[in-house]
Structure 1
Amino acid sequence: MNQHEFELILDGICTALTGEAGDKIFQTAGQFERRVREVLQDAIQGDKSIAIDFSPHPQAFPDIAVGRFGIEVKFTLNDTWRSIANSVLETNRIESVEKVYLVFGKMGGTPEVRWGDYEKSVIHVRTSHVPRFEVELFASRSLFDLMGVSYDVFRVLPMAEKMLHIRTYARARLKRGERLWWLEDTPDADHVLPIQARLYTSLTTAEKTTLRAEAALLCPGIVESGRARNKYDDVVLYLLTYHGVVCHQARDLFSAGSVANPENDDTGGVYIERALKLIETEMRDASLRMDDALFVEYWGESVPPEHRIRRWVQKADLLARDWIPSRSLFL
């Protein structure tokens, strides 16, 4: 069976199932997928070399293997051609399948069943604990077009290389002030975002100091003038996206009297300078242990651990307006 012949079979399956859905809609994904298998089996019964499996592995991809062709079945009760699809990992890929198609049952609005080329239908990747593709029939541009790599090349890449493509794609979609929820190139990286959110004010003093040091290191923009807008945005986003910590008043992390002048000695000076001076040791420690991916994300460059403090000072000197960080910090 060649590709043209198989696509004619898909035409027939979709026409038949659209007719059935017009009489009575399919109620569940399982019911619909089984009916796809039944109609497909009838359509290819003349080809004794192919048998449709009615008891496949529950995580098999695609759902139905038909020789070198495969069908991934999608179903919705809503009026949309969009759906979450399989994991980017494709751990249970049926290796005999070379070309994958979608058969999509849309029961909302006017019930209809249509098919499409799988590669052309993948439009997005959702970045959760296991990144998953998102598909939409009749999309104007596919995810693989946007990433500049074909599906057949992408699917056989090691996961670390897949994540490089995905992270580049995800970062390109960020709006001003947004950060990625995840940074790792591999799905088994050490860092996991805590499920429960915590308030910064509920942390221990030691935890607060550690997080202030990490945030200050990643976000040298905090040394800018007090009139600078959004200078604490990255601090808030880092605490939230990497530690699950909600901070209502990020400014107070560095300019409140309790952190910049704990002795209440009224000697004046620049509060942000004094606050940073008090956490120099913690910032040095953070510079040696924090993931390189964080510096690439927040600084836009990879810097060896032993050079991070020096690079931070250089950045801070360029950003500060009312004082010169290199004259008082990390001497």
Structure 2
Amino acid sequence: MTDNEFEAILDVVCLRLSAEAQRSGFLTPKDFERRVRSLTSEVVTDPAIQIDPNPPAQAFPDIAVGKFGIEVKFTTNDTWLSIANSVLESNRIPSVDQVYVIFGKMGGTLEVRWSRYEDCIVHVRTSHVPRFEVELPPTGGTLPLFQQMNIAYDDFRRLPMDQKMPHIREYARGRLKKGERLWWLEDSEVPTHTLPLQASLYTRLTKDRKTRLRAEAALLCPQIVGSAIDKYDDVPLYLLTYRGVLSHNTRDMFTAGSVSNPTNDDNGGIYTERALKLIESEMLIAANELEDALFIEYWGESVPPVDRIAKWLEKADGFAKKWTPSTSLFKDYQNQRVNRPHIAN
């Protein structure tokens, strides 16, 4: 069966389903999928093609018709928009080469339409498992997702998950607004980092946990030493999206007397500088242990662990106006680097 022949079958199926919908409607997704399956079986006349009446529940697509497949979508809303399959496609039926969508819209004017799967995928939703979003037909001149990502769907679907994620992350990053950050960073099918099930308040954490998180945030956000009005914006985003911790007053994490002058010695100075001096050892640990994807996200570049403090000092010097971080922070670290010239700057 050719593509044109199968699409002619879809024309017939959708025309009959639309007529049935307008007469009596379909109440549930399961009812609609069962009718799509039975009607497709009636219309397909090739005896060599057998449609499984009871496929596995999680199979993708829902209906296999030889080398073709039908993914069934259903809504009671007046919209052609729906969440689709996971980008992983781990349950894809191996025999299916070409996937189509049959969409039943049971809101507004009741109608059933079809589309090629890759032509109606317009977005990828970055939930705990990234999922495609389909729309028949795309509105507002929206390009299919794979045109936006400059890769063919058939090429994309054959990639392992760790090679799919850079495409998705680049697409998602291009949609970020000012003050937004990606909350997911992993390239692998099995994430190396997961958020805790419950969120935590920063103020309720132990002293050691607070110190560790302040060190991580300070390392990833060297702009906190500057004077820009938004210099703290990335800190709560990091804590919430990567550590599941909500911070009400980020400024106090680096300027409050309890973190910058815990001994109350009245020696004055720049409180941010004093606060950072007190967590140098924790920042060194963070520089060695945090995953590289975080530095790509927050610094815009990959930096080897051994060079991260030097790079942080370089960045911090560029942000600071009233003091020079490299002249007062990480002196032991800088002296060690001078004595080890084989380490790249």
Tell me what 1:77 maps to: 76
Tell me what 2:178 maps to: 176
Q: TM-score, normalised by structure 1?
A: 0.98
Mapping 1:236-315, distance limit 5 Å: 236-315=236-315
Mapping 1:7-26, distance limit 5 Å: 7-26=7-26
Tell me what 1:199 maps to: 201
Tell me what 1:115 maps to: 114
Q: 2: distance between equivalents of 1:23 and 1:189?
A: 48
Alignment counterpart, residue 167 of structure 1, candidates 166, 169, 180: 169
Q: 2: distance between equivalents of 1:261 and 1:117?
A: 64
Q: 2: distance between equivalents of 1:143 and 1:301?
A: 26
Tell me what 2:66 maps to: 67
Q: TM-score, normalised by structure 2?
A: 0.94
Contact 1:130–1:187 under 8 Å retained in 2? no
In structure 1, stretches of 5+ residues that fail to align are none
Structure 1 position 125, deviation (Å): 1.0
Deviations for 1:17-69, whole angstroms, at most 9, x for unmatched residues? 1111111110111100000011111111x311111111001111111111111
Mapping 1:118-197, distance limit 5 Å: 118-139=117-138, 140-197=142-199
Q: 1: distance between equivalents of 2:190 and 2:316?
A: 34
Contact 1:124–1:135 under 8 Å retained in 2? yes
Q: 2: distance between equivalents of 1:297 and 1:248?
A: 23
Alignment-mate amino acid for residue 136 of structure 2 = L
Q: 2: distance between equivalents of 1:296 and 1:174?
A: 15
Tell me what 2:231 maps to: 231
Q: 1: distance between equivalents of 2:121 and 2:15?
A: 23
Q: 1: distance between equivalents of 2:126 and 2:196?
A: 16
**Count of matched residue positions in the alignment of Structure 1 and Structure 2:** 328
Q: 1: distance between equivalents of 2:190 and 2:126?
A: 14
Matched position secondary structure for 1:316? helix
Q: 2: distance between equivalents of 1:127 and 1:143?
A: 14
Tell me what 2:343 maps to: none
Alignment-mate amino acid for residue 179 of structure 1 = R
Q: 2: distance between equivalents of 1:327 and 1:79?
A: 63
Matched position secondary structure for 2:242? helix
Deviations for 1:106-138, whole angstroms, at most 9, x for unmatched residues? 001111000011101111111122211111111
Alignment-mate amino acid for residue 170 of structure 2 = T
Q: 2: distance between equivalents of 1:96 and 1:187?
A: 23
Matched position secondary structure for 1:83? strand
Structure 1 position 189, deviation (Å): 2.1
Matched position secondary structure for 2:19? helix
Q: 2: distance between equivalents of 1:131 and 1:59?
A: 16
Structure 1 position 187, deviation (Å): 3.0
Tell me what 1:30 maps to: 30
Structure 1 position 224, deviation (Å): 0.3
Structure 1 position 314, deviation (Å): 0.5
* Higher mean displacement: 309-318 or 127-136: 127-136
Matched position secondary structure for 1:86? strand
Tell me what 2:99 maps to: 100
Structure 1 position 97, deviation (Å): 1.2
Alignment-mate amino acid for residue 158 of structure 2 = V
Matched position secondary structure for 2:71? strand
Tell me what 2:214 maps to: 212
Alignment-mate amino acid for residue 108 of structure 1 = G
Structure 1 position 283, deviation (Å): 0.4
Matched position secondary structure for 2:78? coil
Q: 2: distance between equivalents of 1:56 and 1:125?
A: 26
Q: 2: distance between equivalents of 1:271 and 1:229?
A: 17
Q: 1: distance between equivalents of 2:226 and 2:55?
A: 60
Q: 2: distance between equivalents of 1:160 and 1:24?
A: 46
* Higher mean displacement: 121-130 or 262-271: 121-130
Mapping 1:34-45, distance limit 5 Å: 34-44=34-44
Q: 2: distance between equivalents of 1:39 and 1:289?
A: 57
Q: 1: distance between equivalents of 2:249 and 2:189?
A: 33
Q: 2: distance between equivalents of 1:132 and 1:84?
A: 7
Tell me what 2:338 maps to: none
Q: 2: distance between equivalents of 1:187 and 1:138?
A: 31
Q: 1: distance between equivalents of 2:181 and 2:147?
A: 23
